[in-house]
A and B are shown apart, each in its own frame.
Chain A
Amino acid sequence: MSTPSRIFRTRRPLLLTRIRPWICQSCLIRAQRSHTRAVGSLSSDTPPTPPVDPGVKSHSSLSKGVNRNWEVTVGLEIHAQLNAPQKLFSYAATSFNALPNSRVAPFDAGTPGIQPKLNIPTIVPAIRAAVALDCRINRRSAFDRKHYFYKDQPNGYQITQFYHPFASDGRLVLNELDGLATSETVEVGIKQVQMEQDTAKSVFQPSTSPDVPARTLVDLNRAGSALVEIITTPSLKSSKHAAACLRKIQGILRASGAAVDGMEKGGVRCDVNVSIQEKGLPGLGRRVEIKNLNSIKAVQESIKAEIRRQVAVRESGGEIEGETRGWDALKGESKKLRRKEGEVDYRYMPDAELPPLIIDESLVGHIKSTLPPLPDQIISELMSEPFALTLKDARTMVDLDDGARVSYYKSIYDDISNRPDAHSSSKHLGKLIGNWTLHELGGRLASNFIAWEDNPVTPIQMADLLFHLQSGLITAANAKQVLEVLIESRDSNAAVGDVIAEHDLATQAISGEDTELIRLANGIVAQYPDKAAQIRSGKKPNLKNFFIGNLMRATGGKIDVQVCKQIIEKIFSD
């Protein structure tokens, strides 16, 4: 009950505003924030479109066009299938491509009289996810029922962790590594991570003829599989940041071993909450939820479109309604699913069938100590000596094929660097291997339509090849030929030395003083008198490369490029 003094206290500020001239509240707050006396922005009648305050504007990460006057706030709810062999509350195996309804325990089908039983091993990948997201693991958590009717929900409710999630208060930082500007960092809070059940899949079959009515088929294989739901705080300020955040969380889930499949395989799904508020006003605008986004592109586009829509509504004097929308990726627009008043009340209730989940600190400690390095750590490592890859290459290596190239890269590096004289060359070993792994090998695999997991070139072969290159035993051009032979032959036992010998690709130890070679070079220069004249006149010195290339071709690529260069240089300096 309110005491009289409390009522008085809440009323007093109202009285104060009455005796003063009316001041636009947003202007007042903006004035306070920028610590200036913004006399010009005080108005005495209707609240105007807020003038742009330079102080506020410079804080904003979104300064372009439509969002100039609006503060955008985005939060994400990410659902990821946990890397667990069995379902969360039944013994049925998890599956992705099994025959429909072949991975269903009685509980998954809502069979009367059958109770859930927590599959303890499923909590391990969940804890991995939470630890990787820097969350606090709550020693005691509990399961709740979230009720709604739908054909893909056999029990009429989903078991989740609404009141007491197993992990909360995590964070991650978006930065340069995530595609933000060099100086920009965004801290994203993780409100909570909870374990929950996945739903079944329903497949709509349209009517094919008048006597075959449309129907919906339900496949319970997915029903009851273990998910984690990761809820961020509303701390993202743009669609770009939201996309970066989602990408980052996916990378963390994958690297930590918590989840295997990303969005492209349906293993991760995302809902977004978007609100806009006039810049400078406290609090958040009314939020709109867009549900079931299944790609990073859809997340980014739908948020962009939703911001545009909300700004248009607000700027034409309208109000944003709290509602749930769906995204049509083909049309590039969202449509209203239900209004706030029509919102489902999920009637959350603690599930008395399931005892509270107690997670011992020693388990958390063990998982923390065995957590594989996360993408940011790997990228930073790859970008520093001795690897010294560019951000782009490091990023690519981590992103592609679940980071499989990283271990490939590192085993080549370890192999070569353990050989004597590996570092005597002027070439940077880390960069060289990076270039050959990503571009030379990666490009050739791609153009041959070979998936990375079917890469026929073993790390040992690659190390041998690059060691030859590094030691000047083969030219880069011929090393590429060897690589092609290795890919084509698909013989993982083939020795690189043998391949080089067999195809006669070894660099000949010839010096720049070799008369045979000088004669050959002079012959080539004589064939192109015009080009030679242009070099001699100093008009096009770069044409020397043309002759160097020709000389190399003429020698079958077996002469070191430096030697060829030396000879050509000598011819033109004489």
Chain B
Amino acid sequence: MPAARDAARCLQAVSQHNGLLNALVHIRPPAAVLADANAASRAPVSGTGDSPRSSLDGLLFAIKDNLCTSNMPTSCASRMLADFHPQYDATVVARLKARGAVLLGKTNMDEFGMGSDSVHSCFGPVKNPLSSEHSAGGSSGGSAAAVASGMCFGALGSDTGGSIRLPASYCGVVGFKPSHGLLSRRGLIAYANSLDTVGIVASDVSSVRLIYDSLKEHDESDPTSVDNATRRRIEDQAAAFRSSRGGQKRHWRIGVPMDYNVSEISTRLREAWVSTLAALRDLGHQIVPVDLPSTRHAVCSYYIVALAEASSNLAKYDGIRFGLSPTIAPTEAKTNPLAKITAAREQGFGKEVQRRILLGNYSLTSEAMENYFIHAQKVRRMVKQDFDRVFAFPNPLNSTSKTHQPDPPKEPVDVLISPVSVSSAPALQDVTSLDRSALDAYINDVFTIPASMAGLPALSVPIPASTDGELPLGLQIIAQYGDEDSLFDIATVVEDL
């Protein structure tokens, strides 16, 4: 699919498809979008004088509705924030604008990022552009669908446990989640802040890379944003390592996590995985089976950490500054001082969000803390150590003291390749059916969660359908922390197969 570079065509795609797909929940007036696009492609970027124009000039971007935008509402697809009009742009949005990108609108999502199919939205579900009966994936389903249907050149989303990679794979586009701390989270409304990253969706790897390169700067106002000195150190280490291994055109060592080969993977997807690995081997790359034994504990630990953080991050929505302000009977207000807050939260949050907050609150209670939250943090460290044991490039965030160095890997690899999910996009009817357990949705996150827990960069690259009518599949590539360059290089190789 060619990248959508023409604003007028994008707007046409919006008017043609958005009614059905429900990908955008707020659209700027088309005339304003066109005017911005024309201005940006004509004039050099303001303040740059006669320097060359930015490569993003005049390109349209859609922004997930959990990224703050000063000229558009930002609701997180929640009734709670239906009236939230931020006074500021998220740092990544401001950077896009500064580089000449034009904002098209805000994309639909699972409420506060909580879901895998973009069906838990106060705006209704997103439909898959390739088959409207199917899920677009979540939680950044609107961003993936907008790119896949040609509405925009790129889209920003967020990825907490797979929320960029999963919808990208369902919609047949490229979805990228960077190393935690390399893209600013200022203005990304938190779901689970230690796992949340801003993510990028575009139709091909080179576009994703272009967008990432224009966003990856230190941000003073994000305390978890990696500082400039550390960035330089990581880049230097990664570059030195790459050149010592023969640079971009070398033969890669590609790890295949055997623990990811679970029985739930669909036959077609397993075949695609295997044939991709075979094709890479035929190109001279080395395929190495690796063990990531902590994977089996990753999902439950992920949900403990993510939901605990969610219950905390969403505690600010009490109906006092945002959201509904329900009327409470005076008698009730008298007996229960929290009655108004309770009512505001019951009415403002959807079912899935309420469920996750409850679970998260439970694991933080004093009686459960030790058994759940603390334990989950330990598993999280184990997951990270698993990765550090298989990657050739040493984790640049690890302490430099000798005592903390893990044993050097026996058969070190450059990247890992796995499926993104267990199958192609499920039918919407199945994911919304009443007798479906809430837990069923969580199995889809099994491959994407480990990279999130370890804070590693990961990317979903589409494997086109071999026959008509089949939905696309996605393969995930994971690299060591800060080794985005290897990730993009190999993704390009896979994309070109």
A residues within 8 Å of B by Cβ?
106, 109-118, 145, 147, 149, 151, 154-157, 218, 345, 347-349, 352-355
Contact = CB atoms under 8 A, between A and B. Distances in A.
Contacts of B88: 106, 113
Contacts of B373: 349
B361 A347 contact: yes
A445 to B, nearest CB: 47
Nearest to B221: A117
Contact of A145 (B68, B74, B312): B312
Top 8 closest A-B pairs, CB basis?
A156-B315, A347-B364, A352-B194, A110-B316, A113-B187, A112-B189, A156-B316, A113-B68
B223 A347 contact: no
B74 A115 contact: no
Contact of B312 (A118, A149, A156, A218): A156
A156 B360 CA distance: 14
A451 B366 CA distance: 51
A352 B193 contact: yes
User: Main SS of the interface on chain B?
Assistant: loop
Interface string B287-319: 000000000000000000000110110111110
Contacts of B364: 147, 347-349
B315 A355 contact: no
B186 interface: yes
A186 B222 CA distance: 47
A349 B322 CA distance: 24
Interface string B361-374: 10011100100010
B202 interface: no
B183 to A, nearest CB: 14
B188 interface: yes
Contact of A349 (B186, B308, B317): B308
A453 B315 CA distance: 46
A470 B316 CA distance: 68
Contacts of B317: 156
21 contacts: A110-B316, A110-B321, A112-B74, A113-B186, A114-B187, A114-B221, A115-B185, A115-B193, A115-B221, A117-B223, A149-B315, A154-B320, A154-B321, A156-B312, A156-B318, A345-B366, A347-B311, A347-B361, A347-B369, A349-B312, A352-B193
A353 B193 contact: yes
User: Main SS of the interface on chain A?
Assistant: loop
The CB with the most chain B CB atoms within 10 A, among A110, A113, A354, A355, is that of A113
Nearest to A220: B321
The CB with the most chain B CB atoms within 10 A, among A151, A347, A353, is that of A347
A109 B88 CA distance: 14
B30 interface: no
Contacts of B54: none
Nearest to B196: A352
A502 to B, nearest CB: 65
Contacts of A115: 185-186, 193, 221-224
Given A111-B86, A145-B312, A352-B224, 19 more contacts: A106-B87, A110-B321, A111-B87, A112-B316, A113-B188, A113-B189, A115-B185, A115-B193, A116-B223, A117-B220, A117-B221, A149-B341, A155-B316, A348-B366, A349-B308, A349-B312, A349-B373, A352-B309, A353-B193
B256 interface: no
A154 B185 contact: no
A450 to B, nearest CB: 46
Contacts of B241: none
B123 interface: no
B357 to A, nearest CB: 11
B274 interface: no
Nearest to A89: B223
A348 B338 CA distance: 20
Give the bracket for the number of chain B residues in contact with chain A: 35 or more
B440 to A, nearest CB: 28
Nearest to A118: B223
A157 B315 contact: yes
Contact of A109 (B81, B321, B338): B321
B417 interface: no
B223 A354 contact: yes
Contact of B315 (A116, A118, A155): A155
A118 B220 CA distance: 11
Contact of B365 (A114, A145, A345, A353): A345
Interface in B174-228: 185-190, 193-194, 220-224
A114 B187 CA distance: 6
B188 to A, nearest CB: 6
A113 B86 contact: yes
B90 interface: yes
A349 B372 CA distance: 12
A2 B25 CA distance: 59
Contacts of A353: 193, 223-224
Contacts of B188: 113
Given A353-B223, A353-B224, A149 B318 contact: yes
Contacts of B68: 112-113
A255 to B, nearest CB: 33
Contacts of B311: 147, 347
A480 to B, nearest CB: 60
A194 B270 CA distance: 54
A348 B369 CA distance: 9
Given A147-B315, A155-B316, A347-B365, A112 B224 contact: no
Nearest to B91: A113
A111 B365 CA distance: 26
A151 B222 CA distance: 26
Given A112-B86, A114-B186, A218 B320 contact: yes
Nearest to B88: A106
Contacts of A151: 318, 320
A528 B13 CA distance: 120
Contacts of A109: 321
Interface string B454-485: 00000000000000000000000000000000
A97 B88 CA distance: 28
Contacts of B187: 113-114
Contacts of B190: 112-113
Nearest to A112: B189
Nearest to B192: A352
A347 B222 CA distance: 25
Nearest to B89: A113
A152 to B, nearest CB: 10
A157 B312 contact: yes
Contacts of A157: 312, 315
A352 B322 CA distance: 24
Interface in B337-366: 338, 341, 361, 364-366
A156 B316 CA distance: 4
Contacts of A156: 312, 314-318
Contacts of B338: 149
A114 B81 CA distance: 15
A260 B227 CA distance: 35
Nearest to B86: A113
Contacts of A149: 315, 318, 338, 341
Contacts of B315: 147, 149, 155-157
B195 to A, nearest CB: 9
Contacts of A112: 68, 74, 76, 81, 84, 86, 189-190, 316, 322
Nearest to B366: A345
Contacts of B74: 112-113
The CB with the most chain A CB atoms within 10 A, among B193, B320, B341, is that of B320
The CB with the most chain B CB atoms within 10 A, among A112, A348, A354, is that of A112
A154 B321 CA distance: 8
Interface string B62-106: 000001100000101000010010111010000000000000000
Contacts of A114: 186-187, 221
A113 B90 contact: yes
B311 to A, nearest CB: 7
Contacts of A155: 315-316
Contacts of A116: 223
Interface string B319-338: 01110000000000000001
